[in-house]
């Protein structure tokens, strides 16, 4: 809504001009250097000096493309800029750019880039200006001794970005300029950079930062006594006042504008600044209902602006006057000045001016509000589209410049380095992985060796237990033999003698005694049968130590856990043909299966069956517990051990389980194959 006073103390020529000498292709009186020197002499009139400069350019542009001619040409470009001759500045900078590119003269090429960028900025061709400032930036960035010129490029580039509403880009460029200028002796450029940063942060609505940089600019002016006919202090106060207007802190705004207007030379030296100050002061008073010197201040500002014929500020003044009359209730005058603003805005063909004027008109002219509103929405939407497109256009332009190719080369070099680093890292990681894998295999081998040793110890314990059982069985046989000899045989001998005596006896009671002896004989027969059964049962139970150990394990499961256990061990299996390694692994698998059921299954019934035929031995463990997901990738250590032991026996394990439907584990182990392996081992 408000027009800001952009201070652009950024004369792009920051270097000292050097006097050069051109080779004598023509006489000295006709050389470009001769006429160039004449153009610098103030004893001649402005028009004469311009004619000398034009003659110098005409002659120099026809010379061979030497270092001396390029140096002279760059001086001519600067002189055109000082004379504010846009056409000559444009033509001479084009020739300088062409000649410098032809031989890659970096010194004059940088000057040519800055010249072209400045020309396009002055003619409001912001895209082209941005391109050439970007080219200059890349060139001077590589030159360590040109830091202040680089800062000047950053500053100009930031101004161009600000003019194009690319405020984030402007913030970056200006911050880079500030980082260089703050340590330099060029305090005027430092002041200009701080002021511009304050304006950028104002647009970004980061008001605390905006206040900081504007106050910093004011402090710089006072500290280094920079005040001159440009009235830097008044500019700082104006910018601070405008910042407070945007925050609707009108009291603080009025204070700053009044402070600036204490400088009585502003009207004489810079009427444009004076009109801006009094217009802003009047607007702040209006918004705070302080009508002192109103509407005189508004009309004074409008009169000054009409002399300079700047449509943007004229539209601003007309809108403020319309707002004033609207506030005091004079609707006719309010409508009149809003319509004046529309006329000037449309004549200027600046969409932003038209939008501001239409917005005021639709507020005060209620009869035609719908017409104004329609135009306002249409133009406003168009401006928003343009604004959105312009935000990234400088980025798109940058990508389309030739320097991107050079940047790509740099990126390719970096990518090669990154690829090399990645390759080395990959190799190191691979080696680390191999080392860790080797260590893991070593640990696995040690574990298997330890397991094998443990199996051997288990087998020795089983054999030791077998020996104890055999000894116990022999003792039992000896006891039975004694019982038979001393008990049964003695009784049978007594019966035989009694029967012999009865054969020759005529006693009428002999038949009864014979029956009693026969009954006694039956009792002895029953005793012998029981002893026989006991011997047969001992043979079945203790026929093999493995069966006994399995029997003890299952009986222990019965006594220690609540689940009901039923088991069946096929007595037809010839355990002598089955290797000890298979027996140990089967025992361990059964033990692990029972432990898993006890820990996780919550089963009520457990069934164990060991059977076999001439080729295979089978172990089946079944429960009615909660089951588990057999497709789960990660299995417990116990289950992995069962699978590993089955594989060691060259067997097959089949695990079937469903949720809430129990688990069944069936293991099939070949007898002959395993036996052959053990014999070879």
Task: Indicate the helix (H) or strand (E) that contains 495.
Answer: helix 489-503
**237 pLDDT more than 50:** yes
By mean pLDDT, which of 45-49, 167-171, 668-672 is the weakest? 668-672
Residue pair 233/227 in contact (Cβ under 8 Å)? The answer is yes
pLDDT of 680 above 50:
no
pLDDT of residue 489: 63
What pLDDT sits at residue 327? Answer: 92
Pairing type for strands 605-612 and 616-623 reads: antiparallel
What pLDDT does 457 receive?
73
5 C-beta neighbours (distance < 10 Å), count: 18
Q: How many CA atoms lie within 13 A of 9 on its CB side?
A: 19
pLDDT at 399 over 70: no
Residue 304 has pLDDT above 80, yes or no: yes
CA 116, chain centre distance (Å): 40
Residue 422: per-residue pLDDT: 82
Per-residue confidence band for 238, with pLDDT thresholds at 50, 70 and 90: very high
Q: Residue 504 pLDDT more than 70?
A: no
d(CA 563, CA 547): 22
> For the residues 253-260, what does the mean pLDDT come to?
94
Instruction: Give the model's confidence band at 265: pLDDT under 50 very low, under 70 low, under 90 confident, else very high.
Output: very high
Which range (65-79, 86-100, 305-319, 632-646) has the least confidence?
632-646
* Of the candidates 295, 260, 294, the residue with the CA atom closest to the CA atom of residue 277: 260
> Residue 673 pLDDT > 60, yes or no?
no
Task: Report pLDDT for 636.
Answer: 72
Contact 239, 195 (CB under 8 A): yes
Write the pLDDT tens digit of every residue in 122-133.
988 888 899 999
**Percent residues over pLDDT 70 in the chain:** 79
pLDDT at 29: 38
C-alpha span between 677 and 681 (Å, rounded): 6
Q: How far is CA 489 from the centre of its chain?
A: 98
Nearest C-alpha neighbor of 50 from the set 99, 93, 12, 87: 87
For the chain, give the number of residues.
Answer: 681
The confidence score (pLDDT) of residue 7 equals: 38
Residue 493 banded pLDDT, cuts 50, 70, 90: low
Q: For the segment 352-370, what is each residue's pLDDT rounded down to a tens digit?
A: 778 787 888 888 888 887 7
Mean pLDDT of 517-527: 71
Closest CA to 133 of 163, 158, 166: 158
Q: What is the DSSP string of 120-165?
A: HHHTT-HHHHHHHHHHHHHHHHT-GGGHHHHHHHHHHHHHHHHHTT
Other CB atoms within 10 Å distance of the CB of residue 334: 23
User: Which pLDDT belongs to residue 164?
Assistant: 84
The model's confidence at residue 380, banded by pLDDT at 50, 70 and 90, is: low
Taking the C-alpha atoms of residue 80 and residue 348, their distance in angstroms, rounded to an integer, is 29
Confidence of residue 606 (pLDDT cuts 50, 70, 90): very high
Name the DSSP class of 39: H
pTM exceeds 0.75: no
Q: What is the model's pLDDT at position 261?
A: 93
**Confidence check: pLDDT of 403 > 90:** no
pLDDT given at position 545: 66
Q: Is the pLDDT of residue 3 over 80?
A: no
Mean pLDDT along residues 3-25: 40
Question: Please, what is the average pLDDT of the chain?
Answer: 81
Residue pointed to by tokens 């109103």: 294
Average pLDDT on 477-486 reads 64
Tokens for 455? Answer: 């199996």
pLDDT of residue 333: 93
Q: Which pairs from 92-96 meet CB under 8 Å and 24+ separation?
A: 92/57, 92/61, 93/119, 95/61, 96/70
Choose between 328 and 478: higher pLDDT: 328
Confidence (pLDDT) at 417: 81
Q: Which two tokens stand for residue 279?
A: 């217009």
* Amino acid 601: pLDDT: 85
Residue 406: pLDDT band (50, 70, 90) is: low
For residue 568, report the phi and psi dihedrals to the nearest 5 degrees: -145, 125
CA proximity to 279, closest of 262, 294, 289, 269: 294
**Percent above pLDDT 90 for the chain:** 37
Q: Which residues of 160-170 are buried (b: 16+ CB within 10 A; e: fewer)?
A: bbbbbebbebb
pLDDT classification of 674: cutoffs 50, 70, 90: very low
In the predicted structure, residue 16 carries a pLDDT above the cut 50: no
Residue 213 pLDDT class (50, 70, 90 cuts): very high
Query: Is the confidence at residue 387, as pLDDT, over 80?
Result: no
């Amino acid at each position: 809504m408000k027009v800001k006073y952009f201070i652009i103390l950024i004369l792009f020529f920051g270097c000292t001009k050097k006097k050069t000498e051109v080779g004598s292709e023509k006489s000295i009186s006709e050389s470009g250097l001769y006429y160039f020197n004449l153009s610098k002499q103030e004893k001649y009139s402005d028009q004469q000096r311009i004619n000398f400069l034009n003659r110098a350019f005409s002659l120099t542009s026809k010379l061979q493309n030497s270092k001396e001619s390029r140096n002279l040409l760059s001086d001519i470009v600067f002189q055109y800029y000082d004379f504010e001759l846009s056409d000559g500045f444009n033509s001479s900078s084009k020739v300088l750019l062409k000649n410098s590119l032809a031989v890659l003269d970096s010194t004059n090429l940088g000057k040519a880039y800055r010249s072209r960028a400045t020309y396009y900025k002055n003619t409001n061709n912001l895209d082209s200006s941005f391109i050439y400032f970007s080219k200059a930036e890349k060139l001077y960035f590589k030159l360590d001794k040109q830091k202040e010129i680089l800062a000047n490029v950053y500053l100009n580039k930031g101004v161009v970005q600000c003019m194009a509403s690319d405020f984030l880009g402007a913030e970056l460029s200006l911050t880079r300029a500030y980082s260089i200028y703050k340590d330099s002796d060029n305090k005027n450029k430092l002041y200009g950079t701080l002021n511009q940063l304050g304006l950028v942060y104002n647009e970004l609505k980061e008001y605390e930062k905006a206040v900081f940089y504007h106050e910093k600019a004011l402090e710089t002016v006072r500290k280094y006594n920079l005040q001159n006919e440009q009235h830097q202090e008044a500019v700082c106060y104006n910018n601070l006042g405008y910042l407070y207007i945007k925050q609707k802190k009108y009291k603080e705004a009025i204070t700053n504008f009044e402070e600036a207007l204490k400088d009585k030379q502003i009207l004489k030296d810079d009427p444009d600044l004076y009109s801006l100050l009094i217009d802003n002061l009047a607007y702040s008073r209006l918004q705070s209902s302080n009508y002192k010197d109103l509407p005189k201040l508004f009309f004074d500002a409008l009169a000054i602006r009409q002399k300079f014929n700047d449509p943007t500020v004229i539209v601003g003044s007309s809108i403020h006057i319309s707002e004033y009359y609207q506030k005091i209730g004079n609707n006719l005058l309010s409508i009149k000045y809003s319509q004046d603003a529309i006329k000037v805005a449309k004549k200027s063909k600046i969409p932003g001016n038209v939008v501001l004027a239409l917005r005021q008109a639709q507020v005060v002219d209620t009869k035609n509000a719908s017409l104004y509103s329609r135009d306002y929405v249409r133009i406003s939407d168009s401006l928003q589209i343009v604004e959105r497109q312009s935000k990234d256009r400088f980025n798109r332009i940058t990508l389309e410049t030739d320097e991107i190719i050079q940047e790509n080369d740099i990126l390719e070099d970096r990518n090669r380095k990154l690829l090399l680093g990645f390759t080395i890292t990959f190799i190191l990681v691979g080696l680390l992985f191999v080392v860790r894998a080797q260590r893991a295999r070593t640990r696995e081998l040690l574990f298997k060796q330890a397991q094998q040793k443990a199996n051997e110890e288990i087998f020795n314990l089983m054999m030791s237990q077998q020996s104890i059982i055999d000894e116990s069985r022999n003792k039992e046989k000896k006891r039975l033999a004694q019982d038979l000899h001393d008990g049964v045989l003695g009784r049978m001998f007594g019966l035989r003698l009694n029967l012999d005596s009865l054969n020759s006896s005529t006693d009428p009671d002999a038949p009864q005694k014979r029956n009693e002896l026969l009954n006694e004989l039956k009792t002895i027969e029953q005793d012998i049968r029981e002893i026989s059964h006991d011997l047969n049962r001992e043979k079945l139970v203790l026929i093999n130590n493995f069966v006994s150990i399995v029997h003890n394990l299952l009986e222990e499961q019965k006594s220690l856990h609540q689940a009901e256990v039923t088991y069946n061990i096929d007595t037809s299996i010839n355990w002598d043909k089955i290797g000890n390694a298979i027996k140990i692994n089967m025992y361990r698998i059964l033990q692990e299966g029972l432990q898993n059921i006890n820990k996780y299954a919550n089963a009520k019934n457990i069934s164990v069956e060991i059977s076999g035929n001439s080729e295979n031995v089978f172990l089946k463990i079944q429960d009615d517990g909660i089951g588990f997901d057999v497709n789960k990738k990660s299995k417990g250590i116990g289950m992995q051990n069962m699978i590993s032991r089955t594989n060691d026996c060259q067997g097959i394990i089949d695990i079937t389980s469903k949720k809430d439907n129990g688990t069944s584990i069936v293991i099939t182990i070949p007898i002959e194959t395993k036996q052959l392996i053990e014999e070879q081992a």
